[in-house]
Structure formats: structure tokens, C-alpha cells
Structure 1
Amino acid sequence: MNRVFIPLNLPQPDPVPADAVVDSLSGLTMGTSWSVRLIRPAGCDLKTMQDGIQRQLDLVVAQMSTWSSDSDLSRYNHAAADSWQVLPEHFLKVLDCALAVAELSGGAYDPSVGPLVNLWGFGPDPKRSERPDDVAIARERQRCGWQRIRIDRARHALLQPGDLYLDFSSIAKGYGVDLVAAYLRSVGAVSYLVEVGGELYGQGVKADGQPWWAGMEHPPAAAGADEHVQSIAALHGVALATSGDYRRYFDDGERRYSHTIDPRTAQPVAHALASVAVLHADCMTADAWATALMVLGDEEGLALALSNGVAALFISRDGEGFRERLTPAMQAMLG
């Protein structure tokens, strides 16, 4: 059974030829894959478009990767205490979005959570198979705190107060999606679906007049559980980002530790919420909100999404099955 979400106030899509063919491109970036399906604009060959897309994503890696030792992010993270680091425009745009969500979420989202992400084995450091000790957790927690970030707008510079370590892993893929979409618009594409590591943005319609339909991720069901309702969304001028505790984790004894770290407790989240899907006008913001709501859980997260008008679908574990809750903004899109 399918449940359909159609965003409100959709702009009128640009027409495409009745015989338009959908081309597919793909590649690798940020430790994952990317794919683009599009109706190619006249005068653009696929090789040129492939290279143009990859350039956008390489820019994100060059500026925002914690895995790359020579990225702008790594340069900042390893800079001397009390030094000001001049940083590029895209970096600061992503940081501004991250800080806005950090403030709105009361620190449930925090771009400085990197030391804890690394300690728990979900960053560039080696993976773990057991919980870190309390002393190490307390030590790395002292390094975090989005309130320590200071920006000099006139100089496009960021203060390194000492041992602050930023991590854009929960927002960079979304921004990569937005950059690719902007590039496609710049070369005249009017119909495309962009995906980077599961985060999506769609624009326009295909030759049959149908929008780009995207299925929303659902957590793996327990063996023998009833088949769930499949939610699909029409992506036309809309992004879809998902955060789930089932994507990366490790087991230590009877406890499973998710890659989603709550900056407020310095621990992986331990509530019943399994995933959150967010629809938003841009993928960078959707990506950050999905993480923030995943950290908060279904009660606090739902309340925050409600107060900020966020369109979100919450899926929580309930015995052997799942329970779904929709914000009013998401409910309003039900077709």
C-alpha cells in the first residue's frame, strides 16, 4: 500500500518534450555514492554534465571533509588556539545553517559534536566494538559546544578558540545535493532528481507529466512483522532527507549503539525513535533538521518540528512493529 505526499504550493513545472528521454549519471563522493536522473537540456553532453556535477561535490569535500587532512574544515580543526581562520563562502553558509538549527534545537544539533562522533567510532577514527570509558567521554565532551563559535563576517573568518572540532557530516551531503541542483539549473536543466547518500532533491516533471517520485526510507522490520505502508513523495522544488538509527551502529553485549550522538548527553541516542524523514525547500536544511529531530526523539522532536512548521514523518519502534506520527505540515501534503 502506498501513501502519497504532494507538497503544497508547487510551482508550475517547465514543459518537457513528449519524447524526452531520462538519462542517468552517477559517481562517488563523501564516502558514499551520488546519482542524478535528468532530462538533458539541449546542447549539453553527458560527459560535460558528469564532470560538472562531480566538481560541485568535490568542492564540498575540499571544504568540509573531516576525512581529508587538507580540507578547509581539517585546517580549521587543527589550527592553533586563538587563531582566526579565513574560510570560503560555501563553508560559512553551511555553518550558518548548522548554527541556526543548533540554536532552535537547544543544542540537540551541534556542528561541534565531532570529538564525540570520533570517540564512539563513527568518524575518521577506527571503528569501535565496545563503549568508550566515562573518562574519555567526559574529556571529549569538554571540547564540544556550538556556543564557542565566533564568526568575523567582515573577514569571512572563524575563531579557533582551542581544540574545537567541527563536523559537517550531518549536513554536507544535503548541501552537496543543493549545489548539484544549482549547477543543473545553471546549464538549463528543468527536470532532474539528485541523490547523494540517500538525500534527495527533485525538480520538474518527466515526459509523462509525472513528478519525480521518491520513496521514504523505512527502518528494517522485524522478522514476521506486518508489511508497512510505503510513503512516497512528489519531489518538485522539494528536498527529502532522512535520519535513522539503523544506518550505522555497533553492538556491545546486549546494547546497540547508534551513530546518532546526542551532544547534550555525549551518548548515542537511546529512545524508541527509529527514523525521521523531512521535506524542505532545500536539502541542506532538511538534512540538519532530520538529525536534530532524530536526536530529540519522537516526543521532543515532534514538539520542536511543530513549533517550527517542519514537515516531518517520525517512525518509532513499538513492540515488534512501528508507530508513525506526522507533523501538521506533513499531514497537509497527504494526497
Structure 2
Amino acid sequence: MTLLASCQRNALPTHVNGIAQGSAFNITIYGLDDDSLTYRIGTWLSDYNQLASAWDSQSTLSRLNAGDSVYVAQDFVELAQISRMLHSLSNGYMSPTLNPLIEAWGFGSGLGYLNMSDSLAVQQLMRQVNDARSWCPEKPGLWAWPEGMSLSFTSVAQGHSVDLISERLMAMGATAAIVEIGGEVRCFGRKPNGKDFKVGIEKPLEQKSKDLQEIIPLRDRALATSGDYRNVKKDVVTGERYAHTIDAFTGWPARSNMLSATLIGPTCAEADGMATAAMAMGFDATVEWMSAHPLWDAYLIHVRDDGTLATWSSY
């Protein structure tokens, strides 16, 4: 995803960019003249990494997954509660309990060990998915997962961090901003020229490209895109290619006719989680979900039965 930003000469914005959570971030802020913005945003992102990183062994999430009792801060409680809500909103397709399978398929912090012939191992790991035991904290304090439980918030965490930065900029008095981390975007307000922000959706190509599939105007909403065209592995036994989206109902990499799903919703955490869910749901089920949730919008790229690409949008 490419961030498209412009400004008027008499209303210059503040730009903050860098690398966080393994991805580039780009933030454009209007109406806030504060020399500490770069430092503040860097600190916010660093602090969030200490909460939700699956790759930092000392993060709150990693320590909980290791079986430790850990003090959970309010931001982590909110992340967990949003993830629980999205599990329900997505009809179970977005499941934090998928972490054992995400790791086993090699899309987590390790190399993975499953291949496409390991049906018994997949069945055994599925016993840990959708565990009904209570895992979601209701308030800050000392917390531990139920014994043996391992969770993943990777489908929501990046979007949630976008939300936190957006809300803090609003609280500081920014009149408008667009916040993008790794392709997850939220904006509020309008640019000084009265125009909405615009976000470019990349073409679904295996190699990252500046070629855009679509340009979407965005005002006081959030957008996230998930796709199965880059984070792909090749099975060492069968040679079959499979993508990183795991089906919460089977434990196998999702076999979907969806190539790319862009969801537009009220918050970036929600858009992030539902974009991931859409990739597992497939095109038809996602369109059906959209009809039941009219406050959401989507831009979908899918593969027809004859192998050609098609697009669908709700706006």
C-alpha cells in the first residue's frame, strides 16, 4: 500500500517516518506544531512493541505465551478485548488461538515444521484452537494465560498501534492526520485545502511495486489490506505453494479465491482483523458478510473460476 499525501504551501504539515514493527511507517500531521512529535511517536511505537511483539521474547505477549504471569497494561487489555470482539464479528475466522498453527506453518517467530502431508499433526494442533477457556483480561493487572495456551495478535496489533497514535495526536490538538504503518491506515479530519486524504491500493504482485490498483478517498475512517500474494511458502515435500492465512476451522493454509482484501471500517484494528478474516472466508462469504454490515466498505480482488482476476467494491 502506498500513502498519497500532499499539502498547501500555507499550511505545511509535519511528516514523521521511519521503521517500526518490521515495517515502514509514514505519518502526516496538520495543525500541530510540536518539535517533540518525532520523539513522542518513536516512544509510543517502542512501548507498543514491548507489549505486542511476537518476535521480542521479553514482550508482554511473548512472556504470556511462555507461561509467565505478567502485568498487563491498559493498551494490552484493549488489544486483547478487540481481538476477542473480532473473533465474534468475523464468525470465528479471525482467531487469536491460531498461534500454535501459525508457528507450526512457519509464519510466526520460528521456521515452522509442518508440511502439506502432516494431517495428523494438524489435527492435534487444532485441539488448541478456539479454546473456550478465559484468556482475555478485563482490566490492567497481573495476568497469565490458561496453562498451555498460546495466542497471536498479529492480525490486529499493527492496526491497533495505528489507532493509538491517531487518538493521541487528536488528544494533542492535531486538526487532521493520516497515520500509516505497514499499509494499515487511519485518518481524521481533512487537509487544509478541504480535500480528503487518499490511499493507494497496490496491485497484487509478488514483488512490491509502486503500481496502484485503486485510489480510495478516506475521511475519519481506517483501512487495512491483507493479501496472499507475497508471504508465501513452498512445501518441501509436495512442492505446493501456500500462503500465510490459516483457516481457523481446518488448521490448514486457507484455500481461497481471494487475492487481496481491503476493508474500511471505524478503527484500524477492526479493519486489520477483518481484512485477515476476509482472506480466509473467501470472496462469496466476504460479500455476504458485507451485506450484513452496511457501515463497512471493501475493495476485493479475487480469482474467477476461469483463472482471470476480478474486482468488487462496496462504494
TM-score interval, smaller chain? 0.7 to 0.9
Deviations 1:90-114 (A, max 9, x none): 1121111111121233321101111
Alignment RMSD: 2.6
Cα offset, 1:141, TM superposition: 2.2
CA distance in 1, matches of 2:192, 2:140: 48
- Which residue is equivalent to 2:74? 89
State the secondary structure of the residue aligned to 1:124: coil
2:287 pairs with 1:276: no
Instruction: Give, as a single letter, the amino acid of the residue that structure 2 aligns with 1:164.
Output: M
Counterpart CA distance in 2 for 1:125 and 1:185 is: 38
* Structure 1 CA distance for aligned equivalents of residues 140 and 37 of structure 2: 34
- Structure 2 unaligned blocks of 5 or more: 1-6
Question: Which amino acid in the other structure matches residue 41 of structure 1?
Answer: L
**Which residues of 2 match residues 84-123 of structure 1 at below 5 A?**
86-123=71-108
Change over 3 Å in CA distance of 1:255–1:262 after alignment to 2:
same
Which has the bigger relative contact order, CA under 8 A and spacing at least 6?
A: 1
Please tell me whether residue 61 in structure 1 is matched to residue 61 in structure 2.
Answer: no
Residue number in structure 2 paired with 1:301: 286
State the partner residue of 2:197: 212
The whole-number CA distance in structure 1 between the counterparts of 2:215 and 2:15 is 21
Which one-letter code corresponds to 1:271 in the other structure?
S
Alignment of 1:1-335 (within 5 A): 19-39=10-30, 41-42=32-33, 44-45=34-35, 48-79=36-67, 86-126=71-111, 131=116, 133-151=118-136, 153=138, 156=141, 158=143, 160-220=145-205, 230-252=213-235, 253-309=238-294, 310-318=296-304, 319-326=306-313, 330-331=314-315
Contact 2:73 2:140 in 1 (8 A): no
CA distance in 2, matches of 1:126, 1:18: 49
Corresponding letter in the other structure for 2:30: I
- Rounded to whole Å, the distance in 1 between the matches of 2:137 and 2:243 is 35
- What whole-Å deviation, never above 9, does each CA across 1:182-217 have from its counterpart, x for those lacking one? 222122211221110110012223343222111123
Q: How many residues align?
A: 302
State the alpha-carbon separation in 2 of the partners of residues 229 and 169 from structure 1. Answer: 25
What runs of 5+ residues in structure 1 fail to find an aligned partner?
1-15, 222-227
- TM-superposition CA deviations, 1:22-52 (whole Å, max 9, x none): 332211111212111223523x12xx11111
Match of 1:5 in 2: none
With the length of structure 2 as denominator, give the TM-score of the two structures: 0.86
